[in-house]
Structure 1
Amino acid sequence: MKIGMPRGLLYFHYGALWETFLTELGLEVVTSPPTNKRILDLGVKNCVDDACLPVKLFHGHVEFLKGKVDYIFIPRIVSIKQWEYICPKFCGLPEMVKNTIKDMPKMLLLEHNLHKPRSNFIKGFYQLGASLGFNMKQIKNSYRKAVQSQSTFEEQCKMGVIPWYFNKASLKVSKNREHTITIALIGHPYVLYDHYANMNIISKLQQRGIRVITPEMVLEREIDKHAGMLSKPMFWSFGRKLYGASMYYVKDFSVDGVIYLSAFACGIDSLIAELAERKIRRETNIPIALFNIDEHTGEAGMNTRLDAFIDMVIRRKEHENNLSTHGKYIYSC
């Protein structure tokens, strides 16, 4: 039995969990290829116009898998942390796909809802396995191995390893290279690690000898500490994570610059990016650049902005921060 796994949205965070669970059950998992122009075109064609780029890409990956598998795995993600929620499009994703893509094969649904007791989260895996005819022992063993795989993935991220396995061919880790500049790249995992969507921004930074750090490398307690300084609790899980990681990097980690990579039309980013930018500009002297991407974003324009930002960061580093980031004043020799 072939299960199609769209390489989009939170596959870039839970891919290890989902793939291991299905593989350990003895199922053949067919993962769609890394995003390319064909998949982008399919997504734009088969998705509603007002959706953000990552949602359109997910539709493109589903359309690519159609006709090649027996089932397509589509998670319904309501909450990934108790008392918090994520973008409502994740909750309605199965219905969006079902009503926009014609001749869909059977969907294999899994609900992630940690707003309810954790037993409900585990129950989702049991229901999925049972729907395919597996017994409780098989499902329990597969779930245990899947959790171990996910834990290993998250531990590697905390150790500073960027999740390259999502696209091994396009990027290489320069372990022995000495980095003089450190840039915090902030954004949702499905924006940071989809290299076609973000036009290989991580690779371009690394080729300039820049060390790239992302929110996945920050410990949860540090995120909670800095996000907790807001006037009231942040009930969006990814909003809390991105804001907390941004503040940690500029206050406790002393990065040389921050790049916030956002998908156009993302409601959460429209708030968090503004909060983070205002806080960084008001309380630090660290430069920050906001990059919005969608299906119309041109690589040439993005390269120009990226090169200009890097050059400015390098010049400030060499001149001991005598060049103001916000236009207040400039010391000249």
Structure 2
Amino acid sequence: MKVGIPRALLYYYYYPFWKTFFDALSVETVVSRPTSKVIVNKGIEVSVPEICVPIKVFAGHVASIVDQVDYIFIPRMVSISKNEFFCPKFMGLPDMVKYTVPGAADKILSPKIQSDNDSISNPKYYAEVKRVLGISSWELQRALAKAEKAWQKFRQLSKDGYVLSDALKIFEGEPLKQEISKNNEDVVTIGLMGYVYDIYDEFVSMNVIEKLKESGVKIITFEMLEEKQLLKSLQFMKKQLFWTFSNKLLGAGYHFYHDPEVDGVIQVTAFGCGPDSMIGKMMELDSGAYDKPFMTVRVDEHTGESHLQTRVEAFVDMIRRKNRERGGGIQYESNLSIHGNNAGL
């Protein structure tokens, strides 16, 4: 039996769990290839125009492997935090794929995940998987225990300072490029805000991670922070957001503003994301109060890579000048926005 895993959305957060889980059950997994123009165009073709870019990309990934597998693994992600939820598009994702991607209707394997924390290893979520694969309760529990152990090890890599793309390479046994020297006094630290499927999909984000690394930047993301740090940064809000990952991003953003080691903040967001539009505006309005520059990179299916390298370099150079002339009264623009309006993907 072959189970397909689309290389999109929460693949970047939970893939080590899913891969270890199916390996433990001796089920072959087929992961779609990295996002490309062909995959994006296929997703646009089968999706409604109004849906956001990440969902279109996901649909394209499903379409690229649906004929190669017996099942497509699309968990119905409801929540991973008490009294918070995923975006409704995540909750309805199995249904959207079922009725839009040709050939997927009878191949969707969609356990319902409704947890009160990031761990998704409770056997009660996987009754459908147990039934479809014909496995025993003991086999299910054993596989989930292995998956949880692998995923916790993967998460620790993030907390040790690795971006998720590097943590995934370590999980897969791939070599990493040399890290930026910590002795370099000119290193700029950037707090990078963005959902994992926006910043770690190299095609969607125009490989912003590598561009920052090439500019000599140390990157900090929300998944590198402890949950208590994220929650502490949101204590000023009388009521937090309903969406878990949006809260994580907002908590990380204000943590970056309070952290003296963070020199500036960049938000990568997909056009049409409602929660992100509010998060971005909050961060933009408060950047001056915290005396830290903030830049938004907005992507859609027509966004091109032209000028991104120049803009990132300009943003980082501006921060370097500020750091070098700290105390010298340098004037700088604290809010910049990059909108994708170049040639299409």
TM-score of the pair, normalised by structure 2: 0.88
Verify: 1:177 aligned to 2:181, yes or no: yes
Verify: 1:54 aligned to 2:35, yes or no: no
Q: Is the contact between residue 261 and residue 290 of structure 1 (CA under 8 Å) also seen in structure 2? A: yes
Percent of aligned positions that are identical: 36
Q: Is the contact between residue 154 and residue 167 of structure 2 (CA under 8 Å) also seen in structure 1? A: no
Aligned-partner Cα distance in 2 for 1:265–1:59? 17
Listed as ranges, the matches of 1:303-322 within 5 Å are 303-320=309-326, 322=329
Aligned CA distance change for structure 1 residues 100 and 171 (closer, same or farther; 3 Å): farther
Aligned-partner Cα distance in 2 for 1:175–1:193? 18
Gaps of 5+ in 1: 328-333
Q: Is the contact between residue 171 and residue 203 of structure 1 (CA under 8 Å) also seen in structure 2? A: no
Listed as ranges, the matches of 1:229-308 within 5 Å are 229-281=236-288, 283-308=289-314
Find the counterpart in structure 1 of residue 223 from structure 2.
Answer: 216
Secondary structure, aligned partner of 1:137:
helix
Q: How far did 1:154 drift?
A: 1.0
Aligned-partner Cα distance in 2 for 1:147–1:223? 22
Find the counterpart in structure 2 of residue 159 from structure 1.
Answer: 160
Find the counterpart in structure 2 of residue 142 from structure 1.
Answer: 143
What amino acid is the match of 2:31? T
Gaps of 5+ in 2: 335-345
Q: Is the contact between residue 5 and residue 29 of structure 1 (CA under 8 Å) also seen in structure 2? A: yes
Aligned-partner Cα distance in 2 for 1:162–1:194? 12
Aligned CA distance change for structure 1 residues 18 and 121 (closer, same or farther; 3 Å): same
Find the counterpart in structure 1 of residue 98 from structure 2.
Answer: 98
Moved more, 234-243 or 195-204: 234-243
Q: Is the contact between residue 126 and residue 139 of structure 1 (CA under 8 Å) also seen in structure 2? A: no
Aligned CA distance change for structure 1 residues 315 and 287 (closer, same or farther; 3 Å): same
Q: How far did 1:36 drift?
A: 1.4
Find the counterpart in structure 2 of residue 192 from structure 1.
Answer: 199
Find the counterpart in structure 1 of residue 208 from structure 2.
Answer: 201
What amino acid is the match of 1:55? I
Moved more, 50-59 or 306-315: 306-315
Q: Is the contact between residue 113 and residue 120 of structure 2 (CA under 8 Å) also seen in structure 1? A: no
Secondary structure, aligned partner of 2:74:
strand
Give the root-mean-square deviation of aligned CA atoms.
2.3
Aligned CA distance change for structure 1 residues 176 and 285 (closer, same or farther; 3 Å): closer
CA deviations on 1:120-155 (whole Å, 9 max, x unpaired) are: 953112431232100111001001011111111111
What amino acid is the match of 1:175? E
Q: How far did 1:167 drift?
A: 6.4
Aligned CA distance change for structure 1 residues 119 and 65 (closer, same or farther; 3 Å): closer
Listed as ranges, the matches of 1:121-132 within 5 Å are 121-132=122-133
Aligned CA distance change for structure 1 residues 300 and 172 (closer, same or farther; 3 Å): farther
Secondary structure, aligned partner of 1:12:
helix
CA deviations on 1:83-133 (whole Å, 9 max, x unpaired) are: 1012100000011111111122511111111269x9995311243123210
Listed as ranges, the matches of 1:26-37 within 5 Å are 26-37=26-37
Q: Is the contact between residue 114 and residue 120 of structure 1 (CA under 8 Å) also seen in structure 2? A: no
Moved more, 267-276 or 226-235: 226-235
